[in-house]
Amino acid sequence: MIIADTNVVSELFKPTPDPRVIAWLENASDVTITAVTVGEIWAGIENLPDGRRKTGLRELAEDLFSEFGAEIQDYDFAAAHIYGQIVSARRRLGRPIGYADAQIASICAANGWPVATRNVKDFTDIGIEVINPWDG
């Protein structure tokens, strides 16, 4: 299993997604997302002004999330424990991590899964494999 970070999923909402990301998604196997990413995407959409763009993005999100269905990974008790370790360790290094990134990283760490992201630096020093789909 590979967890796609929110920036990978967000690429699919662009009028012209980066072809490297599309190629990576087409060739990668067993890619899914977390409930954290679902929340981040919905928050981004709901912050938009009402109109056709917002309506279209809502429809796209519903379609995309239904494709992942039961494969969407939850933030659970094991991840929550690791979350505390990640946040504390990164603070001690002088490299604090955002809450959503820490939750996604902790889900990956709890399950031994890599994360696919453009923000490689946000996921280093955590002990998980990081894949950058933009590297082509």
Tell whether 76 is in a known binding site: no
Quote the DSSP letter at residue 34. B
Tell whether 101 is in a known binding site: yes
Cα–Cα distance for residue pair 58/56, rounded to 1 Å: 5
Span between the terminal Cα atoms of the chain, in Å: 19
Binding-site entries = 5, 101
Binding-site entries for Mg(2+) = 5, 101
